Amino acid sequence: MKRSDMAGQNEKKSITKSKIVNYIINNKITSKAELAQNLSLSMPTVLSNVNELIDRNMVIEIGEYESTGGRKAKRIGINPAYKYAVGAVITANHLEIVLLNMQYEIEKTVRMRLKFSTETSYCLKVAEMVEDFLKDVEDREQILGIGISIPGIIDQENRLVMKSHTLQVDNFSLSFLEQAFSYPVYFANDANAAMMAEDMHEYQDAVYLSLNNTLGGAFSINGKLVTGQNQKAGEFGHIILVPGGKKCYCGKLGCADAYCAASALTNETYQTLEQFMKCLEKREASAEEIWQEYLKNLAILISNLRMAYDMDIILGGEVGGYLTEYMIPLGEKVMEYNGFDHDVRYLKMCSYKREASAVGAAKHFLQEFIKNI
């Protein structure tokens, strides 16, 4: 057999394995028969690949299904402890770290106060904190890498933060931070990472609205993130929502960030989002007034994004974590501005709250590993 033919066969086998592993992860528990049926694979192909994955301990047998007359089918699932990836979120004043297993479950998480700095000492401190976080992981070979989420426009190829208002840096090199780790490192914009945390099989075409202290966003087409010509796709926070309106931190007037970020809900009275939401639950009049104005502005932004993209819109970030209880009043306001949709079923809640960006950054390594098994 020619070498090129062998390479082609190996690539095809790797793609089949990846499809099987992704299906098992997405469905938690399955059977060989279900894999054959739902992935349109022959049973011999499924048996060959699954048995190999079981031999490698990547896939494990988890009991049996109830008998339907013949032999009981084995229940199979992914071995969550087969591989891990680390996700870290850098903000102006904090560092958050998560350990993600093969099933995309958070094994461990920590959030610590750490003020961002461009000094080398900051990079060394971050690496030290990650090492301390991983002290309980006995086999470091299981860790595929560390994904780092950063609030800013990232140039992956040149390892640069091109611009970050939050961190107050321009063209900041990430090479020192990368070299501080003994693991492979991947950098991602925080909103892009949060989008990656979602199930991209479910959300093939979707917009992600990141409602954190600053407002960001991302969107995917055919299950792939769109970053744009200059890595600026999804910067929804700087769409002009109210011409000549409130001043945004970027210096412009009327940006969506000034009206729809979590910071729009905090002031001298409500110093944190958590404090604001507690007062809202108590139906305090001042909190109710601020909230109604916030929902109105958010509804306008959502309506504009729906008209521009015609996709599902995932509501994420810290505010997104609270919106579940307020979807009816938000939906009613969205419908006031959108005369083309008959309902708001396209509005979706995020899968992860505060940890979303860390999870998405970590998933990069797990997905790359699965792609190449």
> In this structure, are 245 and 157 located in the same domain?
no
> Contact at 8 Å (CB) between 317 and 212?
yes
Indicate the burial class of 301 (C-beta count within 10 angstroms; 0-12, 13-18, 19 or more): buried
> In this structure, are 51 and 169 located in the same domain?
no
> In this structure, are 324 and 204 located in the same domain?
yes
> In this structure, are 210 and 259 located in the same domain?
yes
> In this structure, are 170 and 305 located in the same domain?
no
Per residue, the 3-state secondary structure of 232-267, as one string, reads CCCCHHHCECCCCCCECCCCCECECHHHHCHHHHCC
The amino acid present at 145, given as its one-letter code, is G
The number of domains in the chain is: 3
**C-alpha dihedral over 361, 148, 136, 111, to 10 degrees?**
-100
| CA 286 – CA 265 distance, rounded (Å) | 11
φ/ψ of residue 372, rounded to 5:
-115, 15
Predicted local confidence at residue 345, as pLDDT? 94
> In this structure, are 183 and 47 located in the same domain?
no
| CA 292 – CA 287 distance, rounded (Å) | 9
DSSP state of 67: P
| CA 368 – CA 373 distance, rounded (Å) | 9
> In this structure, are 74 and 90 located in the same domain?
no
Predicted local confidence at residue 67, as pLDDT? 63
Predicted local confidence at residue 7, as pLDDT? 47
> In this structure, are 274 and 340 located in the same domain?
yes
Predicted local confidence at residue 86, as pLDDT? 98
Q: Spell out the residues 6+ positions from residue 56 whose beta carbon is closer than 8 angstroms to its own.
A: none
> In this structure, are 234 and 361 located in the same domain?
no
What CATH number corresponds to the domain at position 54? 1.10.10.10
What average pLDDT values come out for the chain (373 residues) when binned by 10 residues? 53 85 93 94 95 96 74 88 97 96 96 96 97 92 96 91 93 95 95 91 91 93 90 93 95 96 88 93 94 97 96 95 94 92 93 90 96 90
| CA 344 – CA 330 distance, rounded (Å) | 9
Predicted local confidence at residue 353, as pLDDT? 79
Q: Spell out the residues 6+ positions from residue 327 whose beta carbon is closer than 8 angstroms to its own.
A: 344, 347, 349
> In this structure, are 106 and 177 located in the same domain?
yes
Could you list the residue range(s) of the whole structural domain that residue 322 is in?
A: 199-349
Q: Spell out the residues 6+ positions from residue 68 whose beta carbon is closer than 8 angstroms to its own.
A: none
Predicted local confidence at residue 125, as pLDDT? 97
> In this structure, are 69 and 122 located in the same domain?
no
What CATH number corresponds to the domain at position 152? 3.30.420.40
Side by side, which strands form the sheet with 206-211? 224-225, 215-221, 206-211, 312-316, 347-349
| CA 22 – CA 245 distance, rounded (Å) | 46
> In this structure, are 225 and 259 located in the same domain?
yes
Predicted local confidence at residue 3, as pLDDT? 54
Secondary structure element (H or E) that encloses residue 332, with its range = helix 327-337
| CA 320 – CA 180 distance, rounded (Å) | 34
